[in-house]
Amino acid sequence: MQTNFSLAQLADPHVAESEKILRKCVHCGFCTATCPTYVTLGNELDSPRGRIYLIKDMLENGRPADREIVTHIDRCLSCLACMTTCPSGVNYMHLVDHARAHIQETYKRPLLDRLIRAMLALVLPYPRRFRAALRLAKLGKPFIGLFDKVPALKPLGAMLKLAPASLPTVSPSASPGIHAGQGAKKGRVAILTGCAQSVLDPAINETTIALLTRLGVEVVVPPGEGCCGALVHHMGREQAALASARQNVDAWTRAIDQGGLDAIVITASGCGTTIKDYGFMLRLDPVYADKAARVSALAKDVTEYLAGLDLPEPVRKPGTVVAYHSACSMQHGQKITREPKELLAKAGFIVREPREGHLCCGSAGTYNILQSEISAKLRDRKVKNIEATGASIVATGNIGCITQIASAANLPVVHTVKLLDWAYGGPKPEGVLEKNLIAAE
Ligand code: SF4
Ligand code: SF4
């Protein structure tokens, strides 16, 4: 695509980066067919190509964001299906990240929208605040219908619907410490404790630590870790995202210096995509650029790490039919497609892939709160495809997808690592019934 930026504009490294990306786009439109919002809404401006044109126009003219561009960029899930489809290697992720930061800097949203976004940014990344908010949400549940009637308050209604009826207790696995591996040492890793996942389902990290240590891997929970920054990053709050990134880079750099790390294991693929991008996000920071690149190179999804280990024979041979839902951040963001399915199959599960596996389930960070109507359409489509597989259980590697799909599915949705742990001698995952685990005939 031809671009028309002035030399003065290109002196801004963010604009220069976006210009490079824009020039790669050849307008072919292949990406439209796999874009969930285009498939759902049928509007070119809600397709990757349409958004690319809007972003180009806004950046080239150096103008503030307006209502039209905000509408269409807000509707983008950042699912990155377009990047998987694009034959020209257009890095839509970095382009839309830049556009979101530009919107945050130049556009004044309506008051309620601003307040809701500020609240999400101040609550979700902090486990204590998030836990307190979920407790409060119980009191708000009777008012869901009321919130749903006022368009500007719909995000509050969506939030209340997603809030679980009960909360697990705080897990010791989130506290800093070292979990020694059993038997011959196979490796040493740090694990991201994260934010929302540690509140909604702390058993994911507990199970990961139990499985890895049983396999001989030492697991470190370094002091100072926090939210990866993805939630605020996708809201265009660049400085907050970079502050989170720097905090984690510091925590993991200390862990590397104090005993080395083979990997930084991440159990939420949404976080994995962002941490693998720290090197890019902090490339202009002379103090952090190298350290961040080192951290990104060490970041691995738990299934990616497990796939590199010499696994023993599973303790059980389940024969259970599992529908594997590949989170967008797993398949499009990190290009991890083989490992989770191969691990499940090796552990004795019969893996089925739902139709339209490339389409997002509609979770996408805060999307199911801020764009609840499109999100619900995508969720229902996803659940229908999952249920059509005839599986008795759903496995996936991202807490957002687990919460989203479980809110509408009639079968248990669990993190892949819990099924693996069960097959390799761990306890039956909570919420999964014996009948869900029986072998297929
Ligand atoms: S990230 Fe997803 S929703 Fe956004 S333009 Fe690309 S395919 Fe469409
Ligand atoms: S597929 Fe790639 S090159 Fe083609 S329009 Fe989409 S982003 Fe541009």
365-392 residue pLDDT tens: 999 999 999 999 999 999 999 999 999 9
Range 109-128 average pLDDT: 96
What pLDDT, on the 0 to 100 scale, is given for residue 101? 98
pLDDT at 317: 82
Pair 323, 353: CB distance under 8 Å:
yes
What is the CATH number that goes with domain 172-307?
3.40.50
Helices then strands, counting H and E runs in the chain, come out as 26, 9
Of the pLDDT bands very low, low, confident and very high (cuts 50, 70, 90), residue 441 is low
Rounded to whole angstroms, how far apart are CA atoms 266 and 245? 14
Over pLDDT 90: what percentage of the chain? 89
- 7-106 carries CATH number 1.10.1060.10: yes
Domain limits of the chain? 7-106, 111-162, 172-307, 321-437
How many residues are given for the chain?
A: 441
Ligand nearest to the CA of 75: 1
CATH fold of 321-437 reads Rossmann fold (3.40.50)
Q: Are 124 and 130 in contact (CB under 8 A)?
A: yes
Mutating to test ligand 1, I would choose from 44, 71, 78, 363 the residue with most ligand atoms within 8 A of its C-beta, which is 78
**45 with 54: CB under 8 angstroms?**
yes
Residue among 21, 23, 82 whose CB has most ligand 2 atoms within 8 A, to mutate: 82
Whether the predicted pLDDT of 438 surpasses 80: no
pLDDT (average), residues 6-12? 97
Q: What is the mean pLDDT of residues 231-238?
A: 97
Q: Which two tokens stand for residue 297?
A: 């190179």
pLDDT at position 326: 98
Q: Ligand 2: which atom is nearest the Cα of residue 28?
A: 4
Place of tokens 């024969």: 319
232 Cα–ligand 2 center, Å: 27
* Whole-number Å distance between alpha carbons of 1 and 56: 10
Q: Is the pLDDT score of 173 beyond 90? A: no
Strand partners, 76: none
Prediction pTM value: 0.96
Residues with CB under 6 A from ligand 2: 25-31, 48-49, 52, 82, 85-86, 88, 90
Same fold, 7-106 and 172-307: no
The pLDDT assigned to 165 comes to 86
- What pLDDT score does 129 carry? 96
